[in-house]
Amino acid sequence: MAWLNLHIEAHNQNADLLSDALMEIGALSVSIEDANAETLDEQPIFGEPGDPPPGIWNENIVTALFNDDINIPEVISTLEEATGYQNLKYTSERVAEQDWVRATQSQFDPIKITDKLWIVPTWHDAPNPDALNIVLDPGLAFGTGSHPTTHLCLAWLTDTIKAEHQVLDYGCGSGILAIAAKKLGAKEVVGVDIDHQAIIASQFNAEQNQVSAKFYMATDYPEAQADIVVANILSSALSVLAPALASACKPGGLIALSGILREQTDQVSAIYAEWFEMNAPVFMDSWVLLSGTRK
């Protein structure tokens, strides 16, 4: 069996309408993506849990999946009539039947963080068996090592962790940073998140990696101070949580913050400078890691 993918250029005012209309016409599925994804013009949009939806990108591609017997020009004509938008720009492509599990797995190869640390999906052999290998599959929570923010935090932990350290991973997601900290030799590791699914994912991944770490919902976390606090979350959340994260870090302890865009560097650094002696930022692509020592 095969399908047809229809890609339509859209903007932020008509993408949702086109998406809804395509489903009414008979699309099997519809998605909206940033038309500038993976380019320098990629537009980050973020929302905090509980906040109103942040909207969509200014320039979009609406992609609809149809059975391969569909007449694409007829779909476009019906779509234009239903929405009132004329002269829609579109392309289409045939999608052949394939092993979707293998196709998905092929997108995730082992990720080298440093010579000492790798992230390895379960369907791959470790490229360097002598390294510290974190076994981790893409799942329900953020953090596979592929995103620059996670990569930056993992590299920082590799250079920082010592055997006596107690580590707090705030916003633990998949648990990848907590697991890495434990594998790197930390004495005690705790992960905290506001998403129950993240706690489930973190506990599962810790068991997969045979490491001992404790994970708590933020509302259940027994507040204590750690030698190292790491938080890879949105910059807006980092700004709000600054007093709490500072309180969670021992005097002389270290903090690492990521999830921060380049243009947000000075703002976030200035906030944390009240409690920390801040180091020079470390950049990767459009993202930054900030670190400092508790005063």
Q: Of 39-48, 120-129, 175-184, which range is least confident?
A: 39-48
Query: 3-97 and 141-294: same fold?
Result: no
pTM to 2 decimals? 0.68
Q: In whole angstroms, what is the distance from residue 175 CA to residue 192 CA?
A: 9
Instruction: Return the HEC string of 209-265.
Output: CCCCCEEEEHHHCCCCCEEEEEEECCHHHHHHHHHHHHHCEEEEEEEEEEEEEHHHH
Give the right CATH number for 3-97 from 3.90.1300.10, 3.40.50.720, 1.10.10.60, 3.30.70.120: 3.30.70.120
Q: Which of the two residues, 109 and 83, has the higher pLDDT score?
A: 83
Segment 83-94 mean pLDDT = 94
Q: Given pLDDT bands bounded at 50, 70 and 90, which one contains residue 116?
A: confident
Domain ranges of the chain: 3-97, 141-294
Per-residue pLDDT, 103 = 52
- Residue carrying structure tokens 């007449």: 71
* β partners of residue 217: 193
Per-residue pLDDT, 55 = 65
Per-residue pLDDT, 260 = 93
Residue 57 has pLDDT above 90, yes or no: no
Closest Cα to residue 249, out of 171, 168, 186, 178?
Answer: 168
Per-residue pLDDT, 141 = 46
Q: Which of the two residues, 269 and 47, has the higher pLDDT score?
A: 269
User: Over the range 15-30, which residues count as b (16 or more CB within 10 Å of their CB) and which as e?
Assistant: bebbbebbeebebeeb
Strands 287-294 and 90-95: unpaired
Per-residue pLDDT, 168 = 97
Q: Given pLDDT bands bounded at 50, 70 and 90, which one contains residue 226?
A: very high
Q: Which CATH class is domain 141-294?
A: alpha beta
Residue 100 has pLDDT above 80, yes or no: no
**The length of the chain, given as a count of residues:** 295
Residue 195 has pLDDT above 50, yes or no: yes
For residues 229 and 194, the answer to whether their CB atoms sit within 8 Å is: no
